[in-house]
Amino acid sequence: MSNGCGAPAQGGSVDANTTETVLEGKVLSEGTPVGGAFVRLLDATGEFTAEVVSSPEGDFRFFAAPGAWTVRALHRTGNGQADVSATGPGVHAVEIAVA
């Protein structure tokens, strides 16, 4: 049996010495974590690349490639986005405020 492409549960941690280019962070509303937000990874041209649902603690994570990215969160209480530049492998932190 093969595994599908569904997004895994968010949260936990990855090895800081990972060889992957990891973009991760939290969705926040006035500083409070927002779970259940739809977090979309957009490439440098604004094209959709991937989407996950934030954990109850507001966490999200993408395994991307080096480059400029935008992370955009949609939630019934509001939307928001942030830019992040991943210079190379490792963990790149980014927060998204929704309002």
Q: Token pair 């800081």 is at which residue?
A: 16
Give the whole-angstrom CA distance, residue 44 versus residue 40: 13
Q: What is the pattern of x (binds other proteins, CB under 8 A) and - over residues 17-56?
A: ---x---------------x-x-xx-x---xxxxxxx---
Q: Which of 25, 27, 55, 61 binds other proteins (CB under 8 A)?
A: 61
Q: How many residues of this chain bind other proteins (CB under 8 A)?
A: 30
Strand partners, 93: 24
Report the alpha-carbon distance of residue 93 to residue 66 in Å, rounded: 14
Centre a 10 Å sphere on the Cβ of residue 80 and count the other Cβ atoms it contains: 19
| Residue 68 touching other proteins (CB under 8 A) | no
Residue 3 lies near other proteins (rule: CB under 8 A): yes
Binding site for other proteins (CB under 8 A): 1-9, 20, 36, 38, 40-41, 43, 47-53, 61-65, 74-76
